[in-house]
């Protein structure tokens, strides 16, 4: 077990380094923040000086080495755009992104699983057909379109919900939350739905497919033969076995939710990390971009590691195979 | 009993007062990067911060130079200006404003971390004469000093020292600075809340030295980057003012009935430049010579471009075609010279044939795609226009972050640029865009190195000529030379587009500055 964890940690470190390396390679093409910082009235010497001071005139390997040695200490420098510490910018934005992604994940799970089960059990009914058709829309419509449509309907036409921002937030130490005020909840609804739609349809389709598969299995037939109630068969046996792959996918998708919140955050001006990243790209704010990409890589690595460890804990077969030395 | 009812009335009044506070909700596509008025030379930041901090000399609604923290000024010698400071002005923390603050602010603006260095560069020394008088000495005679001073604001020496903000934030050293998120100016509004990229709230300064024309008590400023969301937020009644309105949404916002779109010409002029220096163009099918050195070719390009159609189709009417490198509002703009050469494909073809290119040629063109309004689309239209005279344009449109470093290296044959003279004076355009580039930084945005010694000579004279009438004559002459040479191809001034509720009155300046002291919001008859 320990060896397994250690090996995964080493792999994680390599992944992180690779991400940082690729990110840095990309920065060579993002452009030059110097003209953005200095504006039109600076002299060529001032620009050259700033470029040198920021280390942008150094060859790529030198820049990269400097970045890694600082990043290891958790130091990403100052945002070129805002003149503030990148670490504090990220800490400030993290709660908004996490709150949004978690709400979306919960929404997707709480609606997706029951809908999937229903669509599997009541195959062919009007309702489940409708759900399947709608889910196709959910999978194929791009996120920004869903967001804009929701804004158009609920904000512009009906004027029920706000179209942008996070609303009133309460500060709890370093953490800010919008969940303690009505205004905060109102602001959360549309972005959370927008972000959840894709995951929801994915989970629903997955649950349905798995459920249909499981229902054909022998042990379900035996369970029925034993005279168990529908309820015990469906929810006690079938659903339980359906959930193993669902948990894996959901776990992995959580990382995607955090990373791909970018689009939702842009559409709703949600002050999270994704928005921070987009703004950084527009300005060629390299320290912020680098820190964001590394953080997202870290989140993915941690989630993957956790999922692997969960597998170890949940699936007894993995453990047996290990202890018998494998066949 | 009496006491009780009085208290009741008083509290009722208070409650009413609170609910009657006039709040203006404003959104822009970008955020104000910092509260520090010296840290970034960008119009949005300068525009917002100027509501909190004030310069010595400001701009009136007609762009004229007006007294702000200085009440009057004049030259005591060709290089020395004396400024009388306004008395009785207090910073938001109650400290009186004095000559020490002025001396300090100039020093701060000259710091290496400051973005205002360009503006204070002509200044040699700032001396305190007494508490309410300062002398400013310039390196050489500098007739437009007051114009230059409109751009940068005064800060409190005491406050900056107490907050360890004596210098603007220096991104190079990685040390944060209090002045980035706190503010203490003399302006009509005080900073109340600052959440970068989320919201910034400023409230009326009741101790302001002047009467405030508008009635706004509080401004909530929100950045909304996404165009569609910004329009939606306005239409759903969550905003009172927003800018810019995307061109394709102007009609929609107008047709909603409850909003106005104000489209004034911006000071910025969009133009095309051509490499007239190299003996062979970097990217062209013509080898061994540079076709742009031939005025006939430049004129053929000019006349082949159909600016009226660009205005109508690409800019949806939101542009003012121009024949000059500066627009109305800039001192030195010549109304009588603002006539473009006619769009004439046949004449252009003939000019090309005369120059020895009857079948045209191939040339690379560089263009930004996220800097000016519809920049890449304009370049595409230009390429299509030029195809009609046989010129095949290989267009590269890219983000400003890669575009500007490239063209500043002069790594281009044919390019687009937009320019706002930051002093609102013609000299800025002559010096940066039209004069022959030198080591000292003259002509640094003359990226095609157009060169005419007569224009250079005039530019140098204009810089120091203090007789305004003579100076105006020289500017006119210089513009005439440039126009006759077809040094660049001016296209248009793009329009600003502000949208706001019908219950709002405001003033738009061609610099795109939004002064909240001039904004009035009438209460709506029916609450939403």
Task: Give the best residue of B148, B169, B197 to mutate against chain A (max A CB count within 10 A).
Answer: B197
Q: Does B171 touch chain A (CB under 8 A)?
A: yes
Q: What is the pLDDT of residue A65?
A: 86
Query: Please, are residues B496 and B244 in contact by the beta-carbon 8 Å criterion?
Result: yes
Q: Which two tokens stand for residue B254?
A: 């107008």
User: Any idea which residue has 């929801």 for tokens?
Assistant: A200
Q: How confident is the model over A55-71, as a mean pLDDT?
A: 83
Nearest to B118 among A29, A42, A148 (CB): A42
- Distances, alpha carbon A69 to alpha carbons A59, A62, A72, A278, B170, in Å: 16, 11, 6, 25, 22
Residues paired with residue B136 on neighbouring β-strands, in sequence order: B81, B126
CB atoms within 10 A of CB B59: 21
DSSP calls for B454-492: HHHHHHHHHHH---HHHHHHHHHHHHHHHHHHT-EEEEE
Query: Please, are residues B434 and B450 in contact by the beta-carbon 8 Å criterion?
Result: yes
Q: What is the pLDDT of residue B394?
A: 96
Between residues A259 and B357, the one the model is more confident about: B357
Q: How confident is the model over B491-520, as a mean pLDDT?
A: 93
Task: Give the best residue of A269, A270, A277 to mutate against chain B (max B CB count within 10 A).
Answer: A269
Query: What average pLDDT does chain B have?
Result: 90
User: Cα A18 to the chain's mean position, in Å?
Assistant: 20
Q: What is the pLDDT of residue A168?
A: 84
Complex confidence, ipTM: 0.79
Q: What is the pLDDT of residue B134?
A: 97
DSSP 3-state assignment of B527?
coil
Between residues A80 and A326, the one the model is more confident about: A80
Q: What is the pLDDT of residue A153?
A: 93
CA distance linking residue B33 with residue B400, whole number of Å: 18
Phi, psi (5° rounding) for residue B17?
-55, -45
Q: Does A2 touch chain B (CB under 8 A)?
A: no
Between residues A64 and B135, the one the model is more confident about: B135
Q: How confident is the model over B445-464, as a mean pLDDT?
A: 94
Q: Does B195 touch chain A (CB under 8 A)?
A: yes
pLDDT of A247 > 50? The answer is yes
Band (pLDDT 50/70/90 cuts) for residue B336 is very high
Single out the residue of B499, B487, B406 nearest to residue B446, CA to CA. B487
- To the nearest whole percent, how much of chain B has pLDDT over 70? 94
pTM (2 d.p.): 0.83
Q: What is the CA radius of gyration of chain A?
A: 24
pLDDT of B56 > 90? The answer is yes
Nearest to B41 among A41, A47, A162 (CB): A41
Single out the residue of B245, B277, B230, B462 nearest to residue B373, CA to CA. B245
Between residues B257 and A260, the one the model is more confident about: B257
Q: How confident is the model over B374-385, as a mean pLDDT?
A: 95
Band (pLDDT 50/70/90 cuts) for residue B19 is low
CB atoms within 10 A of CB A229: 11
Q: How confident is the model over B22-29, as a mean pLDDT?
A: 94
Query: Please, are residues B27 and B197 in contact by the beta-carbon 8 Å criterion?
Result: no
Band (pLDDT 50/70/90 cuts) for residue B294 is very high
Q: How confident is the model over B287-310, as a mean pLDDT?
A: 96
Between residues B191 and B171, the one the model is more confident about: B191
Q: Check A83 against B119: CB less than 8 A apart.
A: no
**Per-residue pLDDT tens for B206-218?**
999 999 999 999 9
Q: How confident is the model over A320-324, as a mean pLDDT?
A: 52
Question: Phi/psi zone of residue B158: left (φ > 0), alpha (ψ -120 to 50 degrees), beta?
Answer: alpha
Q: How confident is the model over B42-70, as a mean pLDDT?
A: 92
Query: Please, are residues B487 and B452 in contact by the beta-carbon 8 Å criterion?
Result: yes
Q: Does the bond joining B231 to the residue before it have cis omega, within 30 degrees of 0?
A: no
Q: Check B225 against A278: CB less than 8 A apart.
A: yes
Nearest to A44 among B31, B226, B441 (CB): B441
Pick the residue from chain A with its C-alpha nearest to B32. Answer: A82
Chain A positions in Cβ-Cβ contact with residue B228 (cut-off 8 Å): 148, 151, 267
DSSP calls for B251-306: HHHHHTSSEEEE-PEEEEEEEEEE--SSSS-SSBS--SS-GGGSHHHHHHHHHH--
Lowest mean pLDDT: which of B65-79, B160-174, B436-450? Answer: B160-174
CA distance linking residue B283 with residue B394, whole number of Å: 9
User: Any idea which residue has 């829309």 for tokens?
Assistant: A137
With 0-12 / 13-18 / 19 or more C-beta atoms within 10 angstroms meaning exposed / middle / buried, residue B398 is middle
Q: What is the pLDDT of residue B151?
A: 86
**Residue A244 has what DSSP assignment?**
H
Contacts of B64 (CB under 8 A, 6+ apart): none
**Residue B441 has what DSSP assignment?**
S
Q: Which two tokens stand for residue A13?
A: 């470190």
Mean pLDDT highest for which of A67-71, A140-144, B488-492?
Answer: B488-492
**Residue B86 has what DSSP assignment?**
P
Q: Which H or E run includes A146? A: helix A143-150
Chain B positions in Cβ-Cβ contact with residue A97 (cut-off 8 Å): none
Q: Does B528 touch chain A (CB under 8 A)?
A: yes
Q: Which of residues 297-326 of B touch A (CB under 8 A)?
A: none
Chain B positions in Cβ-Cβ contact with residue A82 (cut-off 8 Å): 33-34, 180, 196
Query: What average pLDDT does chain A have?
Result: 84
Min distance A297 CA to chain B CA atoms (Å): 24
CA distance linking residue B93 with residue B293, whole number of Å: 60
Q: What is the pLDDT of residue A244?
A: 76
Q: How confident is the model over A262-282, as a mean pLDDT?
A: 90
DSSP 3-state assignment of B503?
coil
pLDDT of A325 > 50? The answer is no
CA distance linking residue A327 with residue A115, whole number of Å: 40
Chain B positions in Cβ-Cβ contact with residue A81 (cut-off 8 Å): 33
User: Cα B399 to the chain's mean position, in Å?
Assistant: 20
Q: What is the pLDDT of residue A324?
A: 47
Nearest to A32 among B197, B199, B401 (CB): B401
User: Any idea which residue has 């002459």 for tokens?
Assistant: B477
pLDDT of A316 > 70? The answer is no
Q: What is the pLDDT of residue A214?
A: 87
**Alpha-carbon torsion, ordered A219, A225, A228, A229, to 10 deg:** 100
CA distance linking residue B179 with residue B174, whole number of Å: 15
- To the nearest whole percent, how much of chain A has pLDDT over 70? 94
Q: How confident is the model over A195-201, as a mean pLDDT?
A: 91
Q: Which two tokens stand for residue A115?
A: 């809908």
User: Any idea which residue has 């009044």 for tokens?
Assistant: B13
Q: Does B125 touch chain A (CB under 8 A)?
A: no
Handedness of CA B440, B445, B448, B454 (dihedral sign): negative
Chain B positions in Cβ-Cβ contact with residue A148 (cut-off 8 Å): 228-229, 232
DSSP 3-state assignment of A74?
coil
Q: Does B77 touch chain A (CB under 8 A)?
A: no
User: Any idea which residue has 């996070």 for tokens?
Assistant: A166
Q: How confident is the model over B93-101, as a mean pLDDT?
A: 96
Q: Which two tokens stand for residue B143?
A: 């007739």
CB atoms within 10 A of CB B447: 24
């Amino acid at each position: 077990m320990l060896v397994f964890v250690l090996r995964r940690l080493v792999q994680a470190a390599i992944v992180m380094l690779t991400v940082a390396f690729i990110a840095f390679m990309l920065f060579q093409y993002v452009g030059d923040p110097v003209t953005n910082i200095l504006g039109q009235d600076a002299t060529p010497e001032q620009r050259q000086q700033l470029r040198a001071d920021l280390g942008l005139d150094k060859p790529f390997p030198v820049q990269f080495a400097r970045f890694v040695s600082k990043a290891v200490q958790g130091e990403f420098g100052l945002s070129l755009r805002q003149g503030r510490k990148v670490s504090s910018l990220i800490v400030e934005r993290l709660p908004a992104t996490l709150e949004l992604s978690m709400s979306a994940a919960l929404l997707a799970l709480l609606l997706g699983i029951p809908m999937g089960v229903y669509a599997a059990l009541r195959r062919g009914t009007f309702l489940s057909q409708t759900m399947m058709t709608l889910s196709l829309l959910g999978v194929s419509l791009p996120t920004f379109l869903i967001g804009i449509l929701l804004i158009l309907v609920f904000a512009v036409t009906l004027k029920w919900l706000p179209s942008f921002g996070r609303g009133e937030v309460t500060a709890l130490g370093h953490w800010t939350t919008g969940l303690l005020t009505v205004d905060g909840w109102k602001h959360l609804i549309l972005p959370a739905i927008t972000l959840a739609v894709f995951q929801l349809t994915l989970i629903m389709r997955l649950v349905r497919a798995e459920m249909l598969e499981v229902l054909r299995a022998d042990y379900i037939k035996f369970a029925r033969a034993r005279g168990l109630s529908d309820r015990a068969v469906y929810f006690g046996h079938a659903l339980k076995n359906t959930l193993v792959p669902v948990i894996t996918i959901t776990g992995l998708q959580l990382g995607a939710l955090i990373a791909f919140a970018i689009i939702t955050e842009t559409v709703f001006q949600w002050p999270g990390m994704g928005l921070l990243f987009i703004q950084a790209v527009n300005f060629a704010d390299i320290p912020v971009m680098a820190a964001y990409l590394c953080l997202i890589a870290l989140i993915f690595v941690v989630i993957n590691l956790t999922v692997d460890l969960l597998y170890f804990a949940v699936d007894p077969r993995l453990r047996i195979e290990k202890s018998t030395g494998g066949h | 009993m009496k006491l009780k009812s009085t208290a009741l009335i008083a509290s009722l009044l208070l409650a009413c007062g609170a609910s009657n506070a006039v709040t203006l909700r404003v959104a822009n596509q970008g955020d104000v990067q910092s509260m520090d008025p010296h840290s970034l030379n960008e119009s949005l930041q300068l525009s917002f911060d100027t509501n909190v901090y004030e310069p010595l000399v400001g701009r009136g609604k007609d762009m004229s130079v007006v007294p702000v923290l200085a009440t009057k000024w004049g030259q005591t010698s060709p290089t020395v200006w004396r400024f009388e400071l306004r008395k009785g002005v207090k910073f938001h923390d109650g400290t009186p404003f004095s000559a020490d603050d002025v001396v300090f602010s100039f020093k701060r603006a000259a710091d290496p971390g400051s973005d205002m260095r360009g503006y204070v560069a002509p200044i040699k020394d700032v001396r305190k004469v007494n508490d309410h008088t300062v002398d400013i000495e310039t390196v050489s005679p500098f007739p437009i000093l007051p114009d230059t001073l409109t751009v940068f604001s005064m800060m409190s020496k005491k406050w900056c020292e107490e907050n360890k903000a004596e210098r603007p934030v220096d991104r190079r050293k990685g040390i944060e600075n209090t002045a980035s998120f706190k503010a203490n100016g003399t302006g009509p509004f005080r900073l109340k809340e600052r959440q970068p990229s989320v919201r910034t709230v400023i409230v009326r300064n009741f101790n302001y030295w002047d009467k405030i024309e508008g009635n706004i008590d509080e401004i909530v400023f929100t950045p909304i980057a996404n165009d569609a969301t910004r329009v939606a937020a306005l239409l759903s009644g969550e905003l009172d003012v927003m800018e810019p309105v995307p061109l394709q949404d102007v009609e929609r916002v107008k047709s909603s009935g409850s909003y106005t779109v104000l489209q004034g010409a911006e000071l910025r002029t969009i133009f095309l430049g051509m490499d007239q220096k190299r003996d062979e163009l970097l990217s062209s099918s013509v080898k061994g010579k540079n076709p742009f050195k031939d005025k006939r070719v430049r004129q053929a390009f000019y006349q082949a471009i159909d600016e009226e159609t660009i205005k109508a189709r690409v800019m949806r009417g939101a542009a003012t075609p121009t024949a000059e490198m500066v627009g109305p509002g800039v001192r030195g703009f010549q109304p009588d010279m603002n006539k473009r050469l006619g769009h004439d494909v046949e004449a252009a073809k003939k000019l090309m044939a005369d120059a020895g290119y009857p079948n045209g040629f191939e040339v690379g063109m560089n263009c930004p795609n996220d800097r000016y309004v519809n920049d890449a689309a304009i370049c595409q239209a230009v390429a299509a226009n030029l195809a009609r005279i046989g010129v095949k344009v290989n267009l590269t449109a890219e983000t400003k972050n890669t575009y500007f470093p490239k063209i500043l290296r002069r790594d281009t044959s044919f390019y687009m640029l937009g320019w706002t003279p930051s002093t609102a004076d013609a000299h800025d355009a002559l010096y940066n865009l039209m004069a022959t580039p030198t080591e000292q930084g003259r002509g640094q945005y003359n990226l095609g190195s157009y060169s005419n010694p007569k224009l250079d000579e005039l530019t140098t004279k204009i810089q120091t000529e203090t007789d305004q009438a003579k100076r105006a004559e020289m500017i006119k002459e210089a513009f005439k030379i440039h126009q006759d040479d077809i040094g660049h191809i001016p296209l248009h001034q793009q329009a600003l587009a502000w949208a706001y509720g019908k219950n709002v009155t405001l003033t738009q300046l061609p610099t795109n500055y939004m002064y909240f002291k001039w904004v009035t919001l009438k209460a709506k008859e029916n609450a939403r």
